[in-house]
């Protein structure tokens, strides 16, 4: 088992930063809706299937913030530890999740978790992913 550590929102921040300022400073910066979102690595282990790994994280999304549109190279099985989330999918569906709700996101599905509650949302997410690919791929419009 890998030692616990922080997987900050760097993947999310890079996309948000790229869209927050225009070339040559013609527009004022746009506030980053993903600022403060964190992903703390709890454990990472080989999967029984060759070429795959299991990763477990604690995702925290502050009030009025969101994860940003992203996908994973495998399935995500999650549980809302605390808070209220609007889970928005690129196919147009939205699912409201509250404290105690489980969720499942298929491999490659583009989604965004938006905190719609009054506290920092905490989600326990376990992924079974292709070990050769990054855990998170950010998608911009």
Pair of tokens at residue 85: 């989330």
Q: Is residue 122 part of a domain?
A: yes
Taking residue 95's Cβ as centre, other Cβ atoms within 10 Å add up to 13
Q: Is residue 43 part of a domain?
A: yes
Q: What share of the chain is helix, strand, coil (3-state, %, to 5)?
A: 10, 45, 45
Q: Is residue 63 part of a domain?
A: yes
Q: Is residue 59 part of a domain?
A: yes
Q: How confident is the model at residue 141 (pLDDT cuts 50, 70, 90)?
A: confident
Q: Is residue 89 part of a domain?
A: yes
Predicted TM-score (pTM) of this structure: 0.78
Cα–Cα distance between 7 and 92 in angstroms, integer? 29
pLDDT tens figures, 122-135: 999 999 999 999 99
Q: Is residue 23 part of a domain?
A: no
Q: Is residue 97 part of a domain?
A: yes
Answer whether 87's CB lies under 8 Å from 66's CB: no
Q: Average per-residue pLDDT in the chain?
A: 85
Pairing of strands 52-61, 38-46: antiparallel
Domain containing 124 equals 36-138
pLDDT tens figures, 30-70: 778 888 999 999 999 999 999 999 999 999 999 999 999 99
CATH number at residue 106: 2.60.120.10
How many domains would you assign to the chain?
A: 1
Give the residue among 84, 79, 81 at the shortest CA–CA distance from 104: 79
Cα–Cα distance between 6 and 17 in angstroms, integer? 20
Q: Is residue 3 part of a domain?
A: no
């Amino acid at each position: 088992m890998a030692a616990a550590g922080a997987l900050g929102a760097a993947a999310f921040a890079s996309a948000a930063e790229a869209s927050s300022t225009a070339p040559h400073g013609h527009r004022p910066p746009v506030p980053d809706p993903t600022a403060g979102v964190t992903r703390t690595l709890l454990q990472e282990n080989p999967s029984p299937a060759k070429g795959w790994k299991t990763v477990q994280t604690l995702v925290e999304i502050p009030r009025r913030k969101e994860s940003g549109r992203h996908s994973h190279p495998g399935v995500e099985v999650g549980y809302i530890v605390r808070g209220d989330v609007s889970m928005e999918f690129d196919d147009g569906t939205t699912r409201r999740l509250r404290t105690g709700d489980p969720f499942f996101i298929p491999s490659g599905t583009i989604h965004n978790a938006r905190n719609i509650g009054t506290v920092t949302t905490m989600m326990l997410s376990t992924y079974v992913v292709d070990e050769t690919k990054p855990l998170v791929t950010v998608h911009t419009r």
